[in-house]
Chains A and B, each alone.
Chain A
Amino acid sequence: MTDDDDDFTAFVAARWRTLVRAGLLLGCDLAEAEDLAQTTLVKCYLAWPRVAAADDRDAYVYRVLVNAHRQRRRRRWHGERPTEVLPDVPVADHGTAAGEADAVARALADLSADHREVVLLRFYLQLGETQIAEVLGVRPGTVKSRLSRALRRLSTNAHLTPLGPASEGDGAR
C-alpha cells in the first residue's frame, strides 16, 4: 500500500460517518447515502495527491459530494413523480427524540434542494459562509440569502412548530 493509500484510507475511516450523514440530510435513504459517500471518496481518490494538499480538504470533499448528489438527482428525475401526500415512513419509536428527528427530517424534506444544501453545509458541517460559497460555486451574498430563507421556512414549518419554545420545558432532547 502506498503512502497515498494510507492517507486515503485514514481519511475514509475518519470521515465516513460524516459523509453518510450528510447524504441523509440531503434526502437520501441510508443505502443511497452510503453509495453517495463511496462515489465521493472514489472521485477524490483519482486526484488524491492534490486533494491531500488542498488548504481546505474537507470543503473540497463536500463540494464533490454536493455535485455527485446533484448528478444523481438529474439522472433519476424522470423516475420521480410529485405527490401531494408524503408516504408514511415506519420509524422505530424510541421516544420523543425519534419523534423530533422525524419532524426535522420532514421539515428538511420540505425545503428546496438549494436550501437543503446550505442547511447541511452551515448547520451540520458548520462551514462559514465564504467556504459554503466556494463549495457551491456561488457568491457569499447568495449563501446569505439562501440561509436566511431556509431558516425562515424551517421556523414556520408545520412539522417543527411543536418543537418550538413551548416544548422545550418537557425535558425532551
Chain B
Amino acid sequence: MNETEAVEQVTRLAESADPGDAPVGRVLAAARRARRRRTRRVVVGAVAATALTTLGTVGVVQVATDSPTTPRPAPVDGPVPPPGTRYVGLGRVVVAVPAVWDTNRFACGSPAADTVYFRPSVPEPTCDAPDDRYDSLRIGRLGEPEGSVAELAELAELVDDGERVDLGEGVVGYRSRSGCTDDGAAGGVGERVTGCTTTLVVPEEDVFLRLRTADPRAGEVADAVLGSARLLPDGWTTVPPIAWMEPSGSVGNRLLGAGLEVAREGEGTFGSGRTPVLGSHPDAGSVVAAGSTVSLALAGPEPMVAVPASTTPGGSVDLYFPSEQLRGVGFSLTSAGRPASSGPDFSLTSDAGSGGTPTWGAGLVPDLGVGGPGPDRVVVPDVTAPGDYRLCTANAADQACTTITVTAGSAP
C-alpha cells in the first residue's frame, strides 16, 4: 500500500460513517457550562485568599471545592530568591531557578546548557541531533506567534483540568497535574523517553512556564522550580524577552514600554533601529527595579561580537556572528601589541567542541564545523595578563576577529 492508496482507503472508511449534522446548540451549552465552572473556581479562590490574608493565616489553603491546590507562597518583602537560586520570569510572574542556569543558551535548536530561554535562537535544528541532557525553562506569552500548536493546545487543557496554583492577589495558575510526563518522543519499543515536561500557565498574566528535565527526580525538580512561582511586589519587574538578532528599535521600544531605560554596550550603534541585538545586561527574564537601565549588546562593524567585551582572567565570553560565518571550534587570543608573526598568546576551544565546557591550551583542537549566529562560548585563560586582545577564529575560510579587554581580577 502506498500513500495514495492509504489516503483513499482511510478516507473511504471515514466517510462510510455519517455522524449527522453538528449538534451546535448542545456543544455550545456544554462549552458555556464549562466556562462558568472555571470562572466560579477562580472567584472562590480569590475570595478565600483575601480572607486568609486578612486573618494573617499561614498554611495550606484549600480554596477550591473541586480541584487540588498547592500552598500559597509566603508574601515577599522584596525579590530575594532562596539561597543558590535566582528569580526569572515574565512581567510580574517569577520562579526561582538554580543560579548557575544560563539564559538563552541554545545550539542546534536545543539547550546547550541548563538554561532559561524565551524562544529558540535557531527555530529548526541546523546540525546534529538536538541535545537532551540539559534542564531548561521556557517562558513565554500564551499567544505569542512562535508558540507551537502543542503549547497553544496545552493552555486549553491546563485551564480546564490542571492543578490550581494560587499566586496571591487572586491570581491563579494551572499546572500540569502529573508533574512529569514524557515529551512524546517515545514512539514504541526501543525508543527512549528523552525528558519530562511540566507546565504552569497563568492566564491572567498571559504567561506560561514550561520546565523540561532529564533528571531522574523530575518531579522534585518541577516542584522546586514551578512551586516557587509568585508575583513580584510593586516597584519590581523583569527584563522583557529579547530574541537574538532582533532589531534594536523594537527591543528598545519593548524595554521602554516595560518602564525601563535603555543603554548600549559594545561597538554597535542604534542607527536606524535595525541594528541586530545580540544580548542584554541584565539578561532577559532577570528581576530589576522599575525604571532600571538595561544595556543592549549590539552587532558592530566586525563580523564577530564578544559579549561581554570586557572580562577578567578565567571569565567566559560569548561570541556572536551577525552574518552567516562558517567556523571551527578553535579560536586564538593575541595581545593587541603583539606582532602577528609571533603567533597567538593562547589557543582556545569553544564549548561547541569540548563537551559543553570551553577550554584553552588543550592541544589538538577537534575538527568540527560550526554555523549559525552563536553564541560560541570561550574562556579567557586564568593566566592572561590585563590588556586589550584580539580574539579571532583559528580555523575558518574567512577569519573573523574582535577586540576584548581583560581587566585585573578573577572570575566569580
Contact = CB atoms under 8 A, between A and B. Distances in A.
Interface of A: 5, 8-9, 12-13, 15-17, 20-22, 24-25, 30, 33-34, 37-38, 41-47, 50-51, 53-56, 59-60, 63-64, 67, 97-98, 100-101, 104-105, 108, 112, 114, 119-120, 122-124, 126, 131, 134-139, 142, 145-146, 151, 154-155, 160, 163-164, 173
Contacts, number: 163
Interface in B28-77: 28, 30-32, 34-35, 38
B38 A46 contact: yes
9 contacts: A9-B28, A12-B27, A13-B21, A13-B22, A45-B28, A63-B150, A97-B16, A135-B149, A137-B184
Contact of B34 (A45, A60, A154): A45
Q: Is the interface of A mostly helix, strand, loop or mixed?
A: helix
B155 A138 contact: no
Pairs of residues from A and B, 8 with the lowest C-beta to C-beta distance, nearest first: A16-B22, A45-B31, A20-B19, A63-B153, A137-B184, A21-B14, A134-B149, A101-B16
Nearest to A120: B10
A24 B11 CA distance: 12
Contact of B153 (A8, A24, A67): A67
Contacts of A17: 18-19, 22
A138 B187 contact: yes
B341 interface: no
Contact of A55 (B17, B28, B145): B145
A151 B6 contact: yes
B1 A137 contact: no
Q: Is the interface of B mostly helix, strand, loop or mixed?
A: helix
Interface string B131-156: 00000000000110100111011011
A114 B188 CA distance: 8
B149 A54 contact: yes
A43 B14 contact: no
B16 A98 contact: yes
B7 interface: yes
B217 interface: no
Contacts of A20: 17, 19
A25 B10 contact: yes
Interface residues of B, number: 49
B13 interface: yes
Contact of B187 (A12, A126, A142): A142
B19 A16 contact: yes
B127 to A, nearest CB: 14
Contact of A64 (B21, B130, B157): B157
A100 to B, nearest CB: 7
Given A43-B157, A55-B145, A123-B6, A134 B150 contact: yes
Contacts of A163: 9
Nearest to A1: B28
B183 interface: yes
B12 A46 contact: no
B157 A104 contact: no
A164 B6 CA distance: 11
Given A38-B30, A123-B6, 6 more contacts: A22-B14, A25-B13, A46-B35, A50-B155, A63-B149, A138-B187
B156 A21 contact: no
B187 A145 contact: yes
Contacts of B187: 114, 138, 142, 145-146
A104 B183 CA distance: 30
B19 A8 contact: no
Among B12, B15, B16, find the residue whose CB has the most chain A CB atoms closer than 10 A: B16
Nearest to B11: A124
Contacts of A43: 156-157, 160
Contacts of B12: 97, 100-101, 104, 173
Given A53-B143, A67-B153, A163-B9, A112 B28 contact: no
Contacts of A134: 148-150
B276 to A, nearest CB: 25
A16 B28 CA distance: 12
B156 A137 contact: no
A160 B5 CA distance: 11
Nearest to A145: B187
A137 B28 contact: no
B1 A160 contact: yes
B185 interface: yes
A136 B154 CA distance: 12
B6 A42 contact: no
Nearest to B149: A134
B24 interface: yes
Contact of B7 (A24, A25, A105, A123): A123
